[in-house]
Structure 1
Amino acid sequence: MALRVIEIVTPREDKEDVAKSLEERQSDEGYVFWGSPLDDGESLSFRVVLDVRETEDVLDKMENLFAWTDKYRIVVYPAEATLPRLDPLTKEEEAEKNGDQAGEEEDNGNGNGRISREELYADVLDTTLLSRHYAMLVLFSSLVGIIGLMRGNVAIIIGAMVLAPLLGPNVGLALATTLGDRKLTWESIKTLTVGVVLCFALSAGAGLLLGLPDPSEELMSRSVTEFSDIILAMVSGAAGIITVTLGVPTSLVGVMVALSLLPPLIACGLFLGASMFPEAGGAGLLFAANVICLNLAGVVTFLAQGIRPLSWYEKERAKKATLQAALIWTVLLAALVGLMLLQTR
């Protein structure tokens, strides 16, 4: 069972309100908490140890409690273990004894095993912000991919896939759409655009300078888009989003390899630089398919995982943004399938 610690720093005058709120929900959420004074003499620190599945529900209640003041701070961090143990089996047995009503209450909470919305946002934001390091990662991974595709070396190509600098902005865009977050949306689009331009320019330059007298099989395989590629992109995208929401970064490596964004983009640039225009179009189509399917699968999976904004007006804005984005990605996917059907004929 994954554990989290929620630390709440609050003024001393709010001690009773915070303690009462935590005590009221303690039996439902199954957490332990305690308070201690801070060195400044004016603030208190409450620490709550709980199951990761309950984190978002408790955070939302705390945010609603403190919405009227700016004198608080809530910090969330992981805990390896706690003694005495939090016993989820006892809680499940009590829920079974209480019958269906307890089961319904559990369903209304965050009992789906994922990390909280705020943790998820922080994790995604780290891979979405445009920085010098991101640009360097794009250039280096593109160079690795160029060498791997030109030599037809699968191991080198997988190395470029694992670096996967374009995956983060796409996940950020899907999350921003789900939450209706305009700032994160534009930051994701900006970062993704810079990454695509850098990768494409570098690979096109390599194709122009070196040419492709004898294209490798690995390179040629990226010039064709099949319907199985769309299915693979949708499934891999959904799996990647679930992995992100569960907070299991090691599992994301396999998704990076399965959902290859970088190799088809590199192939498109190489083919274009070498004046192989039909092949460049096919590789560009594969890259577009992966981006479209990743974002569409991401929005759907985030919604299925119960990722929602907290306030009602943010929920309304997010609902509108999600519907618009889902419509756009669906139309683009339909157009893509139409192009593929025209190519096969």
Structure 2
Amino acid sequence: MALRVIEIVTPRSDKDDVVRSLEEHRTDEGYVFWASPLERGEGISFRMILDVQDTENVLDKFEQLFAWTDKYRIVVYPAEATIPRLDKLASEDKNEFTPAPKESEPKKNRISREELYADVLDTTLLSRNYVILVLLSSLVAIIGLLRGNVAIIIGAMVLAPLLGPNVGLSLATTLGDKKLSMESLKTMTVGIALCFFLAAAAGLLLGIPHVTDELAARSVISYSDIILAIVSGAAGIVTVTQGVPTSLVGVMVALSLLPPLVASGLFFGAGMMPHALGAGMLFLANVICLNLAGVVTFILFGIQPLSWWDKEQAKNGAWRAAILWTLLLAALVVLMVYEGR
């Protein structure tokens, strides 16, 4: 299991209170900690090392104690290893006399809510780099689809600029975070519009002299595509919650958002409307399935706000969103049946 270091910077005058709080919770969570004075000012730094699965429980407790004032700062960063090993330290602690531990919250086999939020936010914010990435990946996908080159298309899939905002929307829905929801929707809308209109312009100017196998494959949608999108979306969210970005590459390839959108734009620009509609339906199915799988997976992994009031609000909103995505998916399936796909 991965390790995390939590650093708490406090005024030296509060040292005794912080030590008492750290000692009080150590028997529940099983971490070790030490303190060192800062070179400048009157601050002192407490560092604790613990398993990543314990991070959110510890952060929640100390956020309630410390985060209400700007005198404190809590920072989380990864640790590669610790010697002696953390389990050995925990077993040594058990040899000492300690009070019977209180019933603690269940361990979470994932990174903390704060780490997850920070990771997702990086791929959700609308920026110049994001716009450039959308344009470049769209051009790569256009070339790959027109040439029927699988390797080029996979390159566009790996760039996957549309994946981040969709994951951000799923997380925002689960946490009831309106600001993140609006930012995700704005970024996703801009990305989709840029990709589609660039592809439509290419279709209008270049035409589609020959419908390659790769283009044809993305002009139709089947029920297996829906199952693949749901499974890949859930796998992608699990990967995100584990903090293993390298594992996300395979999901980017399996859950392709960009190629069907580009194919729809190319067909639209070339005036091939039935093909454009089919590719558009495939893209829409992937978006719906990704968000549905994302919301449900985040709920199952226990992603929720800190306060009980926010938990209730977010829980209701998350289930409403899951029902909405389910209804949209059902409507899409009905449309597929109507068109005989």
Normalised by the length of structure 2, the TM-score is 0.94
Partner of 2:21: 21
Give the CA deviation at 1:12: 1.7
Partner of 2:111: 115
Root-mean-square deviation over aligned CA pairs = 1.8
Q: Does 1:6 align with 2:6?
A: yes
The superposition leaves residues 279-336 of structure 1 with CA deviations (integer Å, 9 ceiling, x where unpaired) of: 0000000000000000000000001111010011211221232122112111111100
CA distance in 1, matches of 2:34, 2:89: 23
The superposition leaves residues 11-45 of structure 1 with CA deviations (integer Å, 9 ceiling, x where unpaired) of: 12221221111111212222110111112342111
Q: Which moved more, 1:131-140 or 1:40-49?
A: 40-49
Q: Which moved more, 1:181-190 or 1:309-318?
A: 309-318
CA distance in 2, matches of 1:330, 1:148: 33
Q: Does 1:156 align with 2:134?
A: no
Letter in 1 for 2:42: E
Partner of 2:56: 56
CA distance in 2, matches of 1:110, 1:317: 23
Partner of 1:236: 232
**1:1-345 → structure 2 map (5 Å cutoff):** 1-87=1-87, 108-112=105-109, 114-344=110-340
The answer as to whether partners of 2:4 and 2:78 remain within 8 angstroms in 1 is yes
The superposition leaves residues 54-92 of structure 1 with CA deviations (integer Å, 9 ceiling, x where unpaired) of: 11111001001124422111000011111111117976x
Letter in 2 for 1:25: H
The answer as to whether partners of 2:56 and 2:108 remain within 8 angstroms in 1 is no
Partner of 1:97: none
Letter in 2 for 1:124: V
The answer as to whether partners of 2:33 and 2:48 remain within 8 angstroms in 1 is yes
The superposition leaves residues 191-240 of structure 1 with CA deviations (integer Å, 9 ceiling, x where unpaired) of: 00000000001000000001112110110110111000000000000000
Count residues with an aligned counterpart: 334
Q: Which moved more, 1:174-183 or 1:74-83?
A: 74-83
The 3 A distance-change label for structure 1 pair 321 and 162 is: same
The superposition leaves residues 133-163 of structure 1 with CA deviations (integer Å, 9 ceiling, x where unpaired) of: 0000000000000000001000000000000
The 3 A distance-change label for structure 1 pair 242 and 202 is: same
Q: Which moved more, 1:246-255 or 1:13-22?
A: 13-22
Partner of 1:98: none
CA distance in 2, matches of 1:88, 1:304: 31
CA distance in 1, matches of 2:125, 2:86: 37
The answer as to whether partners of 2:31 and 2:90 remain within 8 angstroms in 1 is no
Give identity over the alignment, percent: 73
CA distance in 2, matches of 1:183, 1:194: 17
Letter in 1 for 2:336: M
CA distance in 2, matches of 1:201, 1:233: 24
